Amino acid sequence: MKYDFLIVGAGLYGAVFARKALDRGKKVLVIDKRPHIAGNIYTEKDEGILVHRYGAHIFHTNNKTVWNYVNRFADFNRFTNSPVANCRGELYSLPFNMYTFNRMWGIVTPEEAAAKIAEQRKEITREPENLEEQAISLVGRDIYEKLIKGYTEKQWGRSCTELPPFIIRRLPVRFTYDNNYFNSLYQGIPVHGYTEMIARMLDGTEIRLNEDYLADRQVFNALADRVVYTGPLDAFFDHRLGLLQYRSVRFEDEHLKTGNYQGNAVVNYTDRDVPFTRIIEHKWFEFGKDEDGNDLPTTIISREYPAEWKPGDEPYYPINDKVNNDLADAYRKLAASEKGVIFGGRLGDYRYYDMDVVVEQALRRCSEVL
């Protein structure tokens, strides 16, 4: 065998694994079917603006080991995510915090906000069993109707009563005037983008792009002792137990001559009638400046349209409802008995991981198998 590891997918999981393996003296080949590295965290410069081609990625974590690890490969800026929600022209602060409650109900104190929510959550009388019940029980019906229901149903293409409660628990609810979207100790975006960070992780490995592992499995398997597979779990097994569902996203980019389109990196459109979920204005991830600290004169925005995944699309989100989770469990059993193959990452595990969890899992897996 020419290589110790064949790593399928040059995204975050694959890159962390490759780096560790290389540092332990292993021979590694990384392949990816796309023409670029970095998977869905791929960023590239366009008119001096760092564009997140596959959607906004803000690194955040409470795990100091993970934070120190990624900081070996990139300097991170001080970006703090504070999206704005636009519901029919009314603007609300996210995540759900005192600014949101003030705008929604005209109240001022945390006590008033808590009383309002306590009143509205009375309609939920059992442990929440779906996203709708969970949302109302966290923030009440008014916020659910204006800021959650429309957005969520667009994002997932499913009714909130059919979606699992954990999705909405990703968002903090705070009785303070603090609109940091994350509860993490560490947060930021690599100063030169994620692609450069991944390139530094992969430095010294052999990389082959435009290579489709599943289309040529025998040939690739013959190259290495072991395989690290980060593609879709069901595709690895030729969908033999059935198709897992994924949510995909389509971006419509626009280059504008104005210097400031929306005044924030992320604006969510929570109304069902607006066909996209959010508009990203990329320059604000870097405070509107170029690398020399000068104001950028133009801007690039991306409208994000969610869509059900179909063959040929990029899968972005696993759909962790009961049907899909049960099927994924069955595939995970097959995966566990697949000798010589390590499955990882959002698609390989079919789990809605944030980036820090991906890094954590890759590091853990490395310490087990290297």
Residue 80, amino acid: T
Residues 6+ apart with CB under 8 A from 128: 134, 137, 165
Residue 138 CA, chain-centre distance (Å), reads 23
For this structure, is 354 an active site residue? yes
**Active-site choice (278, 331, 349, 360):** 278
| Cβ–Cβ under 8 Å, residues 234 and 227 | no
- Under the criterion CB under 6 A, does residue 272 sit at the interface with ligand UDP? no
CA distances to 56, 142, 182, 185, 321 from 351, rounded to whole Å, are 18, 30, 19, 23, 11
Residues contacting residue 271 through CB under 8 Å, at least 6 positions apart = 86, 87, 88, 150
Residue 53: active-site member: no
Full DSSP string of 66-87? HHHHHHTT--B-------EEEE
# chain residues binding ligand UDP, by CB under 6 A:
13
User: Could you tell me the smallest distance in angstroms from the CB atom of residue 325 to ligand UDP?
Assistant: 16
Judged by CB, which is closer to ligand UDP: 52, or 226?
52
**Catalytic site residue 217?**
no
Of 21-29, 148-156, 185-193, 221-229, the window that binds ligand UDP (rule: CB under 6 A) is 148-156
Candidates 61, 86, 270, 324: give the one binding ligand UDP (CB under 6 A): 270
Q: Does position 147 bind ligand UDP by CB under 6 A?
A: yes
Exposure class string for 69-106: b at 16+ Cβ within 10 A, else e: bbeebbebeebebbbbbbbeeeebbbbbbbbbbbebbe
Q: Where are the alpha helices (DSSP H) in 96-143?
A: 98-105, 110-120, 131-139, 141-143
Shortest distance, CB of residue 181 to ligand UDP, whole angstroms? 7
The least distance separating ligand UDP from the CB of residue 354, rounded to whole angstroms, comes to 8
Strand partners, 255: 300
Stretch that binds ligand UDP, among 34-42, 96-104, 145-153, 226-234 (CB under 6 A): 145-153
If the CB atoms of residues 111 and 308 are measured against ligand UDP, the closer one turns out to be 308
84 binds ligand UDP (CB under 6 A): no
Q: Answer yes or no: are the C-beta atoms of 325 and 349 closer than 8 Å.
A: no
* Among residues 168, 233, 296, 319, the one that binds ligand UDP under rule CB under 6 A: 168
Q: For ligand UDP, what does the binding mask look like between residues 305 and 344, x meaning CB under 6 A?
A: ----------------------------------------
**Residues at the contact surface with ligand UDP, assessed by CB under 6 A:** 85, 94, 147-148, 151-152, 155, 167-168, 170-171, 268, 270
Query: Catalytic residues, which ones?
Result: 170, 174, 247, 278, 304, 352, 354
